Structure 1
Amino acid sequence: MSMGPKQAILAEFAGVARALGHAHRLELLEHLGQGERGVDALAARVGLSLANASQHLQQLRRAGLVANRRDGKFIYYRLADDGVTDLLTTLRRQSERNLAEVDRIRRGYFADRDSFEPVSREDLLERVASGLVTVLDVRPQDEFGQGHLPGAVNIPLGELQDRLAELDPDREVIAYCRGAYCVFAFEAVAALRAQGRPARR
């Protein structure tokens, strides 16, 4: 029996949902949210073999979630458009609202590491404009170069201990990285607080 137009469209939607249905693919999308990346770099960041990363990226491309370009022997991927970020945000919020396990993990791992409420983007930009805080971007330098918050200072997490002197000791530090569940910001806040520095994420 042939599919009607509605069923055909729903089958296409299901293909997108299937592409989102793997943790490695979601993590690849999170990294691509920071900017265009080569397959090698993505594989290394996510901890996958080149072949596995390539297969996951091809599935995301077939679903229309990423686009790619070739430069000689190298293939670079990027998010297809801003709607992908919106889709991932909706997926995260829906999961946080309705899945007890997500809430349990969030409270058990992330909440225990940060006793202060995170700073909203709007509040952060106001504090930066008034000179009250230092915004610390703890992502790798190449991600910082792809885009960052205005006025942010880039000190990758692995360099933080050696570069503490670059941060004004009298200003609160607001650390950020890739997203709500990126552990770099939590680890940076813990390291700064251990040195007696006021810090939040």
Structure 2
Amino acid sequence: MKNAGVHHPIFDEIADLARTLGHAHRLVLLRHIADGELAVEQLTQLSGIALANTSQHLQHLKRAGLVQTRREGKRVLYRLADGPIENVLAALRSLANHRREQIRELINDTMSRPDRLENISREELVRRMRNDEIVLLDVRPQEEYAAGHLPGAINIPVDELEERLAELPREKVIVAYCRGVQCVLSADALAILRARGWASRRFEGGFPEWLTSGLDVDGMNYESG
């Protein structure tokens, strides 16, 4: 039996590096620095990150040994530190592209096989809402959600879903909906959710079917009940 208390220093070091790299702004800065030495002001302009934030992120990268500096007059120039840093950045980009391709394939497969969407009917949806068995996810743009939405629905536009998955609970089934039968936003959302391990279904009728049924609606343009 392996000893769970065995300490592995190398993995601690890897975890520290991963934490340092775990910010999009730092990855952007490293990408620009990989093209050659640059001053803080240049990096601010290229990245679009505020000067104070750029300086702060650069200090994190320097402490982690990912960048080095030299002074040229009054300017401090940043360059990549020694080591296979560009290989690490390339590997991360490759992994991200691979994950995106997996999601794209899942979406395409889902759209070509409607039977795999596991649609939920309005009647079942109402019953499960009353029993508090599900979480409603409105994947339409925020302005459409504000104008009217299913009671208690969480709004995460589908193009923000990957970055905001942590806002959704794992202990309940997520039911995504959008603008109706012809709307693909909820199908895209289902593909993303299932690729990340969330139990999920799709209300095919979406907001239009709910509205025409006379059921309660939340939102500034509609009165509930």
TM-score normalized by the length of structure 1:
0.45
Instruction: Determine which structure has more spread, i.e. the larger CA radius of gyration.
Output: 2
Normalized against structure 2, the TM-score is what? Answer: 0.41
Greater helix share, structure number: 1
